[in-house]
Amino acid sequence: MDCRPANGSILLMRSPYEAYQPAPRDWKPLSVPPKGAAIVWNLGTAENVADDYEYVRNRPFGVPLFVILPEPKGIHAILPIISALPALRTRALLPIGRLTSISALRKLLADSPRHLSTTVVKYLTWRGLVPSALYSDIATLFACARDARSVSKLAQRLYVSRRTLGRRFAERGVPVPSHWLQFARLIHAVVLLQATPIQVARTATQLGYPDGFTLSNQMRRLFGVRPTVVRQHLGWEWVVESWIRCEVERNGFDVERYGPQTLPYRRDGDARRGVR
């Protein structure tokens, strides 16, 4: 199946990823973040590019975007929008044709970023949840998470005491270092589970967990989901958003300081949309 249906230029990919679905203008996910959803924007069939652009720009957090370019003869018609695409945090720009099949995009959705830790830190920075004063600490944390499996070892890497590290994070209203460290380890488990058929127990041992049961419980605690859900609903963005949601619910983020960033997951916020 290619990406040229007559029912619209913006389509949804959702589990079990067997066919594209139309994305109505009033689409709002039943729960946030929407698990494993992705938007496909076919510029070759777009009639009102400006409206489409605003739609995808205001999509909920955690929903990756794939943009399908038109045939070469149609490129001139979308030149004004090309320079604006980076602002949409597009997962991939693809030529129309074989690469637009649902199976091909499903594989792209499951693939791990080349530099996973850096990509996740950049995403959280874009979300406004990595204070500039902590950027270096958090980037180091993600980079060494698979080796430094305790906060004490992490503090050694950062040349500070465990208490000092905890105070740095508390002063800036973000979750405690142990939550960041577990999250940084588990995001590697997420991409392994989605990109490979290996068993949960083997994934756990690769990442230093004693068994699959422990890994599953840690996922449930930090993300609110089990490994089976992670495998059925592809993409890492929604998992990052699930961690943010869980931290907001347990008061890990100071909602007074991070009001707009946490709004979708607060009881006083509109939980049916992302905020840009």
pLDDT digits (tens, 9 = 90+) for 170-220: 999 999 999 999 999 999 999 999 998 889 999 999 898 999 999 999 999
Question: How much is the pTM?
Answer: 0.90
User: Is 141 contained in some domain?
Assistant: yes
Which of the pair, 268 or 43, is modelled with greater confidence?
Answer: 43
Both 122 and 248 in a single domain?
A: yes
Residue with tokens 């290996």: 198
Beta-ladder partners of 90: 65
User: Is 1 contained in some domain?
Assistant: no
Both 97 and 213 in a single domain?
A: no
Question: Alpha-carbon distance 102 to 29, whole Å?
Answer: 21
Average pLDDT, the chain: 89
User: Is 216 contained in some domain?
Assistant: yes
Q: pLDDT value at position 24? A: 79
Both 138 and 246 in a single domain?
A: yes
| Domain total in the chain | 2
- Is the Cα torsion angle 99, 100, 104, 105 positive or negative in sign? positive
Containing structural domain, residue 137: 116-265
Q: DSSP label at 113?
A: P
Name which of 6-10, 18-22, 155-159, 265-269 the model is least confident about: 6-10
Which of the pair, 90 or 30, is modelled with greater confidence?
Answer: 90
Both 100 and 33 in a single domain?
A: yes
pLDDT band at 84 (very low <50, low <70, confident <90, very high): confident
